[in-house]
Chains A and B, each alone.
Chain A
């Protein structure tokens, strides 16, 4: 069983829809990252969080440490949000080494 599980693997939405991507992990962590990867492009860090909630524009990330679960929400989705979203965790004791989920491919249709 992977230490980091994401769902769904693929998600297609209509422009304007509210989107949720989920991430569950099985190890103790010091922090969780949400990353974005556009087709053929590099990887950009969207959020790093260890508790609570963070918001940046239309993106919101939440984490529940007790339940070992995090969600990434996109409000008022737009075709430019189409990308792969990756959850990654920093383990306690190996705080510099990330363990990655396999990613969620999001397609937002106009």
Chain B
């Protein structure tokens, strides 16, 4: 299994540009999520999905859209990039084990918005 994969690894955007961060998992996990990581702060949840066709907002959803058309893929779209969205983005998937959810993280995408 490849686990959780993310593309691209690095991206530089200009303010106002749009782009999609890709996330895929091959473990048939129902639950997937997107986080952003900023210096001095813990990871924060942007959006999550409990299964194909079902998505919901997390703690910091503004400026981002998601969709979940298949179990495998969970892309994150930046509609109009802003410098405040400069961050490292992690995608994760999870499955239920031993009374809680085991978490698997992708390698991250480092995004810079100029």
Contacts and interface: CB of A to CB of B under 8 A. Distances in A.
Do A and B form a real pair?
A: yes
Majority DSSP secondary structure for residues of B touching A: strand
A2 B14 CA distance: 33
A35 B102 CA distance: 11
Nearest to B39: A102
Interface in A1-19: 2, 4
Given A42-B90, A97-B58, A86 B100 contact: no
Size category of the binding interface on chain A: 20 to 34
Interface in B81-114: 90, 94, 97-108
Contacts of A44: 105
Contacts of A83: none
Contacts of B44: 100
Contact of A31 (B43, B90, B99): B99
A80 interface: no
B101 A45 contact: no
Given A43-B90, A44-B105, A50-B100, A97 B45 contact: yes
B42 A31 contact: no
Contact of B42 (A30, A48, A102): A102
B102 A45 contact: yes
22 contacts: A2-B42, A30-B100, A35-B105, A42-B105, A42-B108, A43-B108, A45-B103, A48-B98, A48-B100, A48-B102, A50-B99, A95-B101, A96-B50, A96-B94, A97-B33, A97-B45, A97-B48, A98-B43, A98-B45, A101-B42, A102-B40, A103-B42
Contacts of A45: 102-105
B100 A95 contact: yes
Interface residues of B, number: 26
Nearest to B97: A48
Given A4-B42, A42-B107, 19 more contacts: A30-B99, A30-B100, A31-B99, A35-B105, A43-B90, A43-B108, A44-B105, A48-B98, A86-B43, A88-B43, A95-B101, A96-B31, A96-B48, A97-B58, A101-B42, A102-B40, A102-B41, A102-B42, A103-B42
A52 interface: no
